[in-house]
Amino acid sequence: MKVLVPVKRVVDANVKVRVKADNTSVDTANLKMALNPFCEIAVEEAVRLKEAGSATEVVVVSIGNKAVQEQLRTALALGADRAIHIDTEDELVPVSIAKLLKAVQDKEQAELVIFGKQSIDGDNNQTGQMFAALMDMPQATFASEIKLEANTLQVTREIDGGMQTLKLPLPAVVTADLRLNEPRYASLPNIMKAKRKPLEVFTVADLGVTLKSHQTVVKVTPPAERKAGIMVASVAELVEKLKNEAKVI
Amino acid sequence: MAILVLAEHDNAALKLDTAKIVTAARAIGDEVHVLVAGHQCGAVVQAAQALQGVSQVLVADASVYEAHLAENFAKLLVDLAPNYSHILASASSLGKDTLPRVAALLDVAQISEVITVVSADTFVRPVYAGNALATVQSHDAIKVMTVRASAFDAAPEGNSAAVTTLDKVFEARTQFVSQSLTVSARPELGNAGIIVSGGRGMGSGENFGMLEQLADKLGAAVGASRAAVDAGFVPNDLQVGQTGKIVAPNLYIAVGISGAIQHLAGMKDAKVIVAINKDAEAPIFQVADYGLVADLFEAVPELITSLG
């Protein structure tokens, strides 16, 4: 079974971003970049399936400029077998990303495609579902556990009120939630080995996909700052403030 | 053209989220329809009919809709889409699961977690865990969007909208196996006026009992940080944050929560924030209206007692 894992390069989760002064976008210049945490969990799950003997090959794919190769190498160091880079300078919305990934899947014919449930920059939570729709595959989003049985996949999902378990025929799409696994750290020998693993590069034109413009970002602004609060010295003072000043209890 | 809202329900009762999404829909246009898809959900249909501002309730009642699966819900919505300019759902696990599928099948973009309707084609949504707000203008013929329920007031009741029954049934290959939902007498996190939330500082799941007592004194819901959920103290559906529930209560009491960026993303729109933490340097104090540097194992029991 081949597993395809689309991954994204994002600003590191611990970096607090700032909006550019001209309100056109978030300033990402010179910030620490990383593999999106949810994508890392997706890669880990695919590698575990391979280690368990369920998967035969793990292919990772990323879309962006040349810099995304750094995150593809990270995924290779975590245990993926080969990587595909779709080279573009354009900022693409999830539906365009999903179309490009469909072109990759049409060639790769993976039986299982694991995404991270959302990227921590755009916070869209769309790409896996859109890809599943374009491929007409069943999906299980927000997965916290997956079990492979013959040609079906049993997935436990984190939903608003608790947990839900679904069974999907393969090929299928899964999006990883936080508690699916705890990703490993890449060892130094594996980081060295990853440098020699195959990495193919395609352009959007190579894939024969025509993309369209869906939206314009009018502006990007910082959120309203909260006014600085006060420190109270005791529980009694806190209760007094909540009752008489804030009037919320 | 009319606006379609996907109802959020459990086949027995309509969730308050839907009334909030109807308010967002009314900010876009006058004719709002609600789709109730599910099984044996007559009470949900009645509740949707009662929402002010709704002119029609579409009902798709079939056993294949009982588990609310994205696969066939998306096909149902795509079938209805030509009659609508906008398709809205709550940014809930159902909305997030279903609407991207709808958008992709319609070859349009989807706009996630809308918090402000600027005009019929322009919307504001948070990005980067709420550290930036993007104003986005859509060029698509049909706007498909999830809406952050906590950013809108609920539409009041007092209406009896017309009902249209949909006969076409769409099947799914996805099979429902089981579901375990947390049963609680406390208010739902998304709609609670007061939330008492615990973090890694709670130390154990048992210690959350203390927060439950406090919550019961205040008529509050109990929430948790990702750290507390990851540590196994409480189930995942209590998680407040960028990838959990986004809440905006009148009062949010953060106990033993350090205040990571991803947690703040879920609660910084609360009207009043209280932080109780023994670490005076914890980032949670930077967003708190009232901060108390104290050992939570002393402060929380004292708080419970002083609330009588």
Look at the alpha carbons of B260, B266, B269, B275 in this order and tell me if their dihedral is positive or negative.
negative
Q: Which residues of A touch B243 (CB under 8 A)?
A: 38, 117-118, 177-178
Q: What is the pLDDT of residues A5-58, one digit of tens each?
A: 999 999 999 998 999 999 999 999 999 999 999 999 999 999 999 999 999 999
Rounded (5°) CA angle A205-A209-A213: 105
Residues 87..126 of A with a Cβ closer than 8 Å to B: which? Answer: 93-95, 98, 117-118, 120-126
A64 contact B CB<8A:
no
Tell me how far the alpha carbon of residue A247 is from its chain's centroid. Answer: 42
Q: How far apart are CA B203 and CA B70, in angstroms?
A: 37
Q: Which residues of A touch B226 (CB under 8 A)?
A: 178
A144 contact B CB<8A:
yes
ipTM of the shown complex: 0.95
Tell me how far the alpha carbon of residue B86 is from its chain's centroid. Answer: 19
Query: Does B104 contact A130 at a Cβ distance shorter than 8 Å?
Result: yes
Query: Does A132 contact B101 at a Cβ distance shorter than 8 Å?
Result: yes
By CA distance, what is A116's nearest residue in B? B243
Please report, for chain B, the start and end positions of each structural domain, with discontinuous segments joined by +.
2-165, 189-306
**What domains appear along chain A, each with residue ranges and CATH number?**
2-222 (3.40.50.620)
User: What pTM, to 2 d.p., does this model score?
Assistant: 0.95
Q: Which residues of B touch A178 (CB under 8 A)?
A: 226, 229-230, 243
Name every residue whose Cβ is closer than 8 Å to that of residue B54 and which is 6 or more positions away in sequence.
Answer: B5, B22, B32, B33, B34, B48, B155, B159, B161
Q: Which CATH number fits domain B2-165: 3.90.330.10, 1.10.3720.10, 3.30.470.20, 3.40.50.620?
A: 3.40.50.620
A136 contact B CB<8A:
no
Per-residue pLDDT of chain B (308 residues; tens, 9 = 90+): 999 999 999 999 999 999 999 999 999 999 999 999 999 999 999 999 999 999 999 999 999 999 999 999 999 999 999 999 999 999 999 999 999 999 999 999 999 999 999 999 999 999 999 999 999 999 999 999 999 999 999 999 999 999 999 999 999 999 999 999 888 899 989 889 999 999 999 999 999 999 999 999 999 999 999 999 999 999 999 999 998 999 999 999 999 999 999 999 999 999 999 999 999 999 999 999 999 999 999 999 999 999 97
**What architecture does CATH give domain B189-306?**
3-Layer(aba) Sandwich (3.40)
Q: How far apart are CA B98 and CA B88, in angstroms?
A: 11
Q: Which residues of A touch B261 (CB under 8 A)?
A: 13-14, 16
A67 contact B CB<8A:
no
B79 contact A CB<8A:
no
